[in-house]
A and B are shown apart, each in its own frame.
Chain A
Amino acid sequence: MVEDLRIGRLPSTWPEWTSDGVLSCVILGFVLLIRHNRIKAAQAKALQATLNQAIIHDLKNPMTSIVGCISVLNSEPFDRENQHRLLRLALISCRTQMDLLETLVDTTRMEYGEMTLQKRPIPAKAFVDSCLSDVTGAAEHLGIRIEDSSARPLSEQFVADTDLMRRVVTNLLQNAIKYTPRGGAVSLGAAFSNGNVSLEIHDTGIGIPQGQIGRLFKKYFRVEGGEQSTRRGSGLGLYFCKLVVEAHHGSIDVRSETGSGTTVRILLPVMPRSSGHATEAKRTAGGEAPPDGDRG
């Protein structure tokens, strides 16, 4: 009995070898599992820190423009034209900041299935005009032409959540403007066929590397490499667009060539199959399941 309890005793029979082997494997398995979880936790923490940094950057840049414009208007006697330009810049930056905050909140709401679509008929012509007018000021400021590329006068309607769909298209137009150099053009056009409406956003900008197009709509993805490598972004804008489009039973795809420009096409059913609820989006857009409990 005393001998059995001695530490360091080697197993003498095969059942003892087997049980010790199993025990060793279980312990090794636990050690590996703990190590794996630690690595995962460290990676998640690093990713969260990077995202926080990106979001802070995205919020602080427009704030810099707003504070700069207001502080200089408050202290210096600018002529009327420059007063107007500074105020317009401040307004554009306020809007950029508001858009990011809304995207942050609404992406979370859609992932948690807490956003119900308010679908109603939208006249296509009015929709295109309104989206283009949203970005014309910023584009003109940057020397970029804004065009309606619809092939013919539009008289049709399509059914969608007006506010959400307008934000999607405006988001895509702003992205196109961001990556189009001065003197370039950004266009939006609508076309109807086979019970679908197609909304195409095209730019003559710097394009997207082929290898990255497939990942564009992943959550937190940001284009890497080349000129775009250090352009910061939360990586939520395009993911939000995909969530909204898929909640409308539509699809979104991208064609691009580096140096020649990019076309993003949204295809939506003119009449949606159901009233639609944003929860459907999270299943198809690769959204992460929300943690249990906290739905604040």
Chain B
Amino acid sequence: MPLKQNGRQAGKPRLMVIEDDNGIREMLRIALSIYYDISAFANGDDIAALLDKNDPDLLLLDINLPGSDGFRLCESIRSRAKDRGLPILFMTVRRENRSFLESLESGGDGVITKPFVMKELVDRIETLLKGRL
């Protein structure tokens, strides 16, 4: 079962989604809202401002994004002392080991391959959130 609170304050954990595909973004926004407070964006332009404003407990990040791709965004997030411990879960359509290795190298905490069933995604999110508590 999803956690009902995170380590910092009571209430639903906050999840930020960055996904440029409108259909997937809307699906995640609706489906995950049962468990989490969701903020969803089509790109990661000005990621620092987005993180400061939304203060997420976990970031769900698409790898193929307009502008800066997911790996570059992840590197820039990790360069901020404040967000060094933020769990980042990548989403990708690729089933290659390269994506997995690149995600770790860029500072990500894991990769989930599209398409995925929602339980699989929620389980992965919960594992990462527990590690943060």
Interface residues of A (CB under 8 A from B): 56-57, 60-69, 71-72, 75-76, 78, 82, 85-86, 89, 92-93, 96, 138, 141-142, 178, 227-232
Contact of A75 among B28, B69, B118 (CB under 8 A): B118
**Nearest B residue to A229, CB-CB:** B66
Q: How far is the CB of A78 from chain B (nearest CB, A)?
A: 7
**Given known contacts A65-B21, A65-B24, A76-B34, is B115 in contact with A60 (CB within 8 Å)?**
yes
Interface centre among A56, A68, A71, A82 (most CB of B within 10 A): A68
Interface of B is mostly: loop
Contact between A232 and B64, CB atoms less than 8 A apart: yes
**Bound form: Cα–Cα A72–B20 in Å:** 21
Q: How far is the CA of A63 from the CA of B23 in the complex (A)?
A: 10
Query: Is A67 touching B22 in the complex (CB atoms < 8 A)?
Result: no
Chain A residues near B105: list those with CB within 8 A.
Answer: none
Docked complex Cα distance between A18 and B85 (Å): 75
* Secondary structure class of chain A's binding surface, majority of residues: helix
- The answer to whether B23 and A62 touch across the interface, beta carbons within 8 angstroms, is yes
Q: Is the CB of A89 within 8 A of B118?
A: no
A92 CA / B20 CA spacing, docked (Å): 16
Sampled A-B contacts (19; CB under 8 Å)? A64-B21, A64-B114, A67-B116, A67-B117, A69-B27, A71-B119, A72-B31, A75-B118, A85-B30, A86-B27, A89-B26, A89-B30, A92-B23, A138-B22, A141-B22, A142-B22, A178-B22, A231-B20, A231-B66
CB-based contact B67/A65 at 8 Å: no
**Docked-complex contact A68 and B21, CB < 8 angstroms:** no
Residue of A nearest to B65 (CB): A230
Query: What chain B residues lie within 8 Å of A138 (beta carbons)?
Result: 22
> Counting CB contacts under 8 A, is B50 at the interface?
no
> Using Cβ atoms and an 8 Å threshold, which residues of chain B touch A85?
26, 30
| Docked CA distance A66–B27 (Å) | 9
Residues 105 to 129 of chain B near chain A (Cβ within 8 Å) = 114-119, 121
Total residues of chain B contacting the partner, CB 8 A: 25
- Residues in B neighbouring A62, C-beta threshold 8 A: 23
Within 8 Å by CB of A60, from B22, B27, B30, B93, lies B93
A74–chain B nearest beta-carbon distance, Å: 9
Contact B93 A68 (CB under 8 A): no
- The chain A residue with its CB closest to the CB of B28 is A68
Q: Which residue of B lies closest to A63 (CB)?
A: B115
Chain A residues within 8 Å of B27, by CB: 64-65, 68-69, 86, 89
Residues of chain A contacted by B30 (CB below 8 angstroms): 78, 82, 85-86, 89
Chain B residues in 8 Å Cβ range of A61: 21, 23-24, 93, 114
Known: A61-B21, A89-B30. A68 touches B116 (CB 8 A): yes
Q: Which residues of B contact A230 (CB under 8 A)?
A: 20, 64-67, 69
Q: Are A89 and B93 in contact (CB under 8 A)?
A: no
Q: Which residues of A contact B116 (CB under 8 A)?
A: 64, 67-68
In the complex, chain B residues 95-110 whose Cβ is within 8 Å of any chain A Cβ: none
- Are A68 and B24 interface neighbours, CB within 8 A? yes
- Between B20, B23, B67, the greatest number of chain A beta carbons within 10 A of the residue's beta carbon is seen for B23
- Bound complex: CA of A205 vs CA of B26, how far in Å? 20
Q: Give the 7 A-B CB pairs with smallest separation, nearest first.
A: A71-B117, A65-B23, A64-B114, A64-B115, A72-B118, A72-B31, A67-B115
Q: Which residue of the partner chain B has the closest CB to A59? A: B93
A92 to B24, CA, bound (A): 11
**Minimal Cβ-Cβ distance residue in B for A232:** B64
Query: Which residues on the A side are within 8 Å of B43 (C-beta)?
Result: 227
| A-side contacts of B24, CB under 8 Å | 61, 64-65, 68
* A68 contacts across to B, CB distance below 8 A: 24, 27-28, 31, 115-118, 121
Given the known inter-chain contacts A61-B114, A66-B115, please indicate yes or no for A89 contacting B23, CB distance below 8 A.
yes
Choose from B66, B69, B117, B121 the contact partner of A228 (Cβ within 8 Å).
B66
8 more contacts with CB within 8 A, not counting A60-B115, A61-B23, A230-B67, are A61-B21, A61-B24, A64-B23, A64-B24, A68-B117, A230-B64, A230-B66, A232-B64
